[in-house]
């Protein structure tokens, strides 16, 4: 009985010691500063929403590719962005898909490692997909190798199709700002193993591929990182600053992504004036300075930098008090925002952009299956920006002589 009692006491002491070690060994949450630890990335999470790269098949073999690995009978060529360079890769679609990437940039793919695809069942995109990796463009001796690893996925093997790449891991930690504790995260969006790639504007690629690192803060403290196109987003392209209410903090990240520090800053600013003056304008802006969600009636002070609107809303009140709301659509917000596509805020200067009315109404005609034609209406603002037409918009079809052949209102359905 005594032996059993001592065994229980020893086990309890060890358990208590473990709890004490875990509690005391845990680094306290600091004001504006934290250490970041590596975690495996979930490609379905919203945190990874801006870290993907989309690669369309090239029409021809890149000139830099000098040869292929043995046995590549049905090659399909691509280019992936890594920091400031484009790296060729090739997928052999003969049999089980195999991928080879020019990791050292010499064009000799016959000396590179080949990655055989792993079959992934039941994704959101397809009933089956293929995944290659993890892949690294860094040498095995490079200490950044683990953070620079990424996967490449494809969803069709019967014909050349688009590929997607996504990081294999991210870094995360906790810090305090103005007395509140927030979880933060960094994602290596350009596969270079570093965490210092700030958004570069103007973009020479579709909006879904910022090809920079990603910064995230769990502002609502619900335990997840949420991405938004329409309002303040917790997941944004990395900039030099982050805005908390009306206070700016400079973002300082160690090159290896192991530490993050946010320090209060007073950046140089300029003025953004959005006209018309009788409307309330809501904008979501990407920037190399600080990501912004603006709700303004006339003008706003912004940190000096380059900006790109990804979503715009105009609200105007007529004489009867009715509010008319016009917004850019998901399909057009990133490719048809006219002067809002790219603009620069300079120190002490005012940048004026007139958007909205007078509008030009254009028909959006698309040919569907079975000979069906879909006719929709879009509004083009005076800065070239494109909006969805409000519901119940009236239209007419006229002939060459101006005779009205038909007229009605657009309806959904």
The pLDDT tens digits for 184-204 are: 999 999 998 889 899 999 987
The pLDDT of residue 250 is above 50 = yes
Q: How far apart are CA 383 and CA 361, in angstroms?
A: 14
Q: Among candidates 336, 325, 38, which has minimal Cα distance to 167?
A: 38
Q: How far apart are CA 113 and CA 101, in angstroms?
A: 8
> Are 28 and 48 contacting, i.e. CB atoms less than 8 angstroms apart?
no
pTM of the model: 0.82
What pLDDT is recorded for position 401? 67
Residues in the chain: 413
Backbone angles phi, psi at 290, to 5 degrees: -155, 130
Those residues whose C-beta lies under 8 Å from the C-beta of residue 407, and which sit 6 or more positions away, are: 394, 395, 396, 397
Chain centre to alpha carbon of residue 14: 46
Least trusted range by pLDDT, from 238-252, 265-279, 315-329: 315-329
Residue 411: pLDDT band with limits 50, 70, 90: low
Q: Which of 80-84, 187-191, 227-231, 373-377 ranks highest by mean pLDDT?
A: 187-191
Residue 371: pLDDT band with limits 50, 70, 90: low
């Amino acid at each position: 009985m005594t032996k059993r009692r001592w065994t229980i006491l020893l086990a309890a002491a060890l358990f208590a010691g473990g709890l004490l070690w875990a509690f005391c060994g845990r680094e306290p949450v600091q004001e504006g500063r934290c250490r970041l630890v590596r975690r495996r990335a979930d490609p379905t999470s919203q945190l990874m929403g801006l870290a993907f790269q989309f690669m369309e098949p090239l029409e021809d073999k890149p000139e830099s590719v000098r040869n292929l690995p043995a046995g590549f009978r049905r090659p399909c060529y691509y280019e992936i962005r890594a920091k400031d360079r484009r790296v060729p890769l090739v997928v052999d679609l003969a049999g089980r898909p195999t991928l080879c990437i020019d990791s050292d940039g010499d064009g000799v793919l016959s000396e590179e490692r080949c990655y055989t695809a792993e079959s992934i069942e039941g994704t959101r995109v397809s009933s089956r997909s293929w995944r290659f990796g993890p892949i690294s463009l860094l040498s095995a001796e490079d200490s950044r190798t683990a953070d620079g690893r990424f996967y490449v996925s494809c969803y069709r093997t019967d014909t050349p199709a688009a590929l997607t790449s996504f990081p294999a891991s991210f870094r995360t930690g906790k810090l305090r700002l103005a007395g509140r504790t927030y979880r933060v995260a960094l994602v290596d969006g350009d596969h270079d193993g570093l965490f210092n790639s700030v958004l570069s504007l103007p973009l020479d690629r579709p909006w879904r591929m910022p090809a920079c690192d990603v910064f995230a803060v769990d502002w609502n403290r619900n335990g997840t990182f949420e991405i938004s196109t329409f309002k303040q987003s917790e997941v944004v392209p990395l900039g030099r600053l982050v805005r908390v209410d009306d206070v700016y903090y400079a973002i300082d990240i160690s090159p290896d992504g192991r530490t993050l520090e946010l320090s209060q800053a007073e950046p140089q600013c300029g003025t953004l004036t959005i006209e018309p003056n009788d409307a309330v304008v809501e904008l979501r802006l990407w920037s190399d300075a600080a990501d912004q969600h603006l709700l303004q009636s006339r003008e706003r002070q912004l940190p000096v930098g380059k900006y790109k609107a990804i979503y715009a809303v105009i609200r105007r009140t007529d004489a009867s008090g009715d509010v008319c709301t016009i917004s850019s659509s998901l399909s057009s917000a990133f490719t048809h925002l006219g002067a809002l596509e790219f603009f620069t805020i300079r120190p002490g200067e005012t940048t004026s952009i007139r958007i909205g009315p007078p509008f030009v109404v254009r028909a959006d005609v698309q040919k569907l299956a079975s000979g069906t034609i879909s006719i929709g209406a879009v509004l083009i603002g005076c800065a070239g920006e494109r909006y969805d037409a409000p519901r119940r918009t009236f239209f007419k079809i006229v002939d060459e002589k101006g005779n009205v052949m038909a007229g009605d209102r657009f309806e959904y359905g």
